[in-house]
Amino acid sequence: MQITLRYDKVHPSRRLDVAEATARAVVALLASPEAAPGGPWHEAVRYWRDGRIRKLVRRARGRRWDEVQALPGVTVTQDGPLGWAPAEARALVPGPVRPLPTALAKTQVEGTHFPDGDELPPAPAAVTAAVDRAAGRTADLLALGSASTSQGALVTVEVTPLHEMTSGKLCAQVAHAAQLAWQSPDMPPALRDAWAEDGYRVRVVLPGADSWRSTPRPVSVVDAGFTELDGPTETTRAFW
């Protein structure tokens, strides 16, 4: 499954918001009528889910982002906190790695980085932040930092505090945890329905090392280690 993130160096989105939007896009695609039996995406999704599930995260901006919208898939836009751009992610219907559609081949894979949010947004978002200083909201913005704004989300995804990941890798791992939560037979059907009504929002958190080592969750993602991590490495967990 190819995933494309909207990337703007001038007015960026926060790393955590992008990861949450990616998870929502992936689950929304898998849960869509098009991916259900009899739908146009069903066979491609079934073949992908029956094999070794892989997610490749790319970035695009401007015209490249607009071109990717023409490919079959689901886009999710999630607002960021004050001064940060909305996070936008498009999950595409799974397909072969080669050959890629022309629009997708023009996007980039390596070096995708989104800021954590521990500092004020850069210009032009800084203009908005400067206006709000007069209202005393700068302190609130800095206090939020890299924390999730998805309060009340029905599914929480924990990210390992023991290993560093690039933004692209983080998005893939958070999306995988959300996918396994959606597929889990342990999730009550009523909760799954309520999650759908909520747009499959997830809250991403970074637990402390002690909590991570001692608190099991119903969903665990273990990365095989084919890319930037030495595998097998547990990267994310999900609970509800």
Task: Give the pLDDT confidence score for residue 194 in this predicted structure.
Answer: 98
Residue 142's SS3 state is helix
Name, in order, each residue with C-beta under 8 angstroms of 200's C-beta and a sequence gap of 6 or more. Answer: 23, 24, 27, 28, 31, 155, 178, 182
Residue 187 has pLDDT above 50, yes or no: yes
Say yes or no to pLDDT of 118 above 60. yes
Does 5 score more than 50 pLDDT?
yes
φ/ψ bin of 177: left (φ > 0), alpha (ψ from -120 to 50), beta (otherwise): alpha
Mean pLDDT of the chain: 90
**For the chain, what are the domain ranges?**
2-144, 155-239
Strands 56-60 and 202-205: unpaired
**pLDDT for the residue numbered 230:** 79
Query: Does the pLDDT value for residue 127 go beyond 70?
Result: no
Helix-helix angle 15-30:42-50, to 10 degrees: 110
pLDDT mean over 22-31:
98
Looking at the predicted structure, is the pLDDT value of residue 220 above 80? yes
**pLDDT tens digits along 150-176:** 999 999 999 999 999 999 999 999 999
Would you state the pLDDT for residue 124?
A: 64
Q: Tell whether domain 155-239 is in CATH 2.60.40.650.
A: no
196 pLDDT more than 50 = yes
Residue 105 has pLDDT above 80, yes or no: yes
Mean pLDDT along residues 83-94: 95
pLDDT at residue 142, as a whole number: 47
17 and 73 Cβ atoms separated by less than 8 Å: no
